[in-house]
Amino acid sequence: MTMDYQNTSFNLHGKVALVTGAGGYLGSQMAVFLGVAGAHVILNGRHSESLQKVQQQLSAQNIESTLLCFDITDEEAVTENLKTIGNHFTCLDILVNNAHSGRACAYQDAQREDFFRDFNVDVVATFELIKKSVPLLKKAVSLRQDASVINIASMYGMVSPDPSIYGDSKMNNPPHYGVAKAGLIQLTKYMACHLAQDKIRVNAISPGPFPAEEVINKLPEFKEKLIQKVPLARIGKPHELLGPLLLLASSASSFMTGVNIPVDGGWTAW
């Protein structure tokens, strides 16, 4: 069987995608890629300046996008902005939950408030956003026979950080981060099973070592320690998340739900 990906499975043209945390390091690249792949991207985050930069990247390629600056932990703002999306676009085809808020610290310095904050953003607010988006996602199913929710988790929701990697780098990966991401992976499975009756698919991507360029330049020894843990013997490049993202966003993954895809160079395979 031959497949014309431009006209069938991998085609996002005409679809509407909401990306939370769209102004961040990985979120911005995912948002731009979805736009390049044909979707109308709704850029969400708390800081308008970073979102405007992403919108400018899309505009430079003659790609239209929409900017909705609001905090996903604000239930009233979520409700109002989903109404705006419904009024302008009728439906929502793709929801990428990428928002995260947290701080790096050693476990000795982690506070109760750190756990509450991370869990509130990564799990509670994400759950509320998915739940409130269901009517718009169901409309996408009725119009295009598909709707996809993609949760951005982490390899540290699957395995523990190796403390020997971090040493004195001050790049400690805190316990509350992994706990929240593990919760997000479980939420993915739960929502996949409960939204399957509505033909809404829910999957996750767990990025591995994707340190920002400024971190690499500032801490070359940290980079080398990361590489030693990766079977493919290198760190990830942001564009390497885009293939799995397109797969899950498109109808090419129409029989996939409840899946967590590690994109980690084999880190979690050890």
**Residue 5 pLDDT exceeds 80:** no
What pLDDT, on a 0 to 100 scale, did the predictor assign at position 8?
A: 64
Contact 129, 20 (CB under 8 A): yes
Instruction: Extract the tokens encoding 258.
Output: 């409840």
What pLDDT, on a 0 to 100 scale, did the predictor assign at position 215?
A: 87
For the stretch 171-190, pLDDT in tens is 688 999 999 999 999 999 99
Distance CA 268, CA 90 (A): 40
Contact 107, 175 (CB under 8 A): yes
What pLDDT, on a 0 to 100 scale, did the predictor assign at position 166?
A: 83
Q: Could you give the maximum distance between any two Cα atoms of the chain, in Å?
A: 57
Contact 126, 73 (CB under 8 A): no
- From 8, 48, 12, select the one nearest 30 (Cα to Cα): 12
Class of domain 16-258: alpha beta
Contact 157, 184 (CB under 8 A): yes
Instruction: Extract the tokens encoding 72.
Output: 């996903």
**Residue 151 pLDDT exceeds 50:** yes
First to last CA, the chain: 36
pTM confidence score = 0.95
What pLDDT, on a 0 to 100 scale, did the predictor assign at position 9?
A: 85
What pLDDT, on a 0 to 100 scale, did the predictor assign at position 208?
A: 98
Q: What percent of the chain stands above pLDDT 70?
A: 96
**Residue 7 pLDDT exceeds 60:** no
Distance CA 92, CA 254 (A): 16
For the stretch 20-79, pLDDT in tens is 999 999 999 999 999 999 999 999 999 999 999 999 999 999 999 999 999 999 999 999
What pLDDT, on a 0 to 100 scale, did the predictor assign at position 150?
A: 99
pLDDT band at 101 (very low <50, low <70, confident <90, very high): confident
Q: Could you give phi then psi for residue 149, rounded to 5 degrees?
A: -110, 130
Domain ranges of the chain: 16-258
What pLDDT, on a 0 to 100 scale, did the predictor assign at position 4?
A: 53
β-strand 147-152 against 16-19: which pairing, if any?
A: unpaired
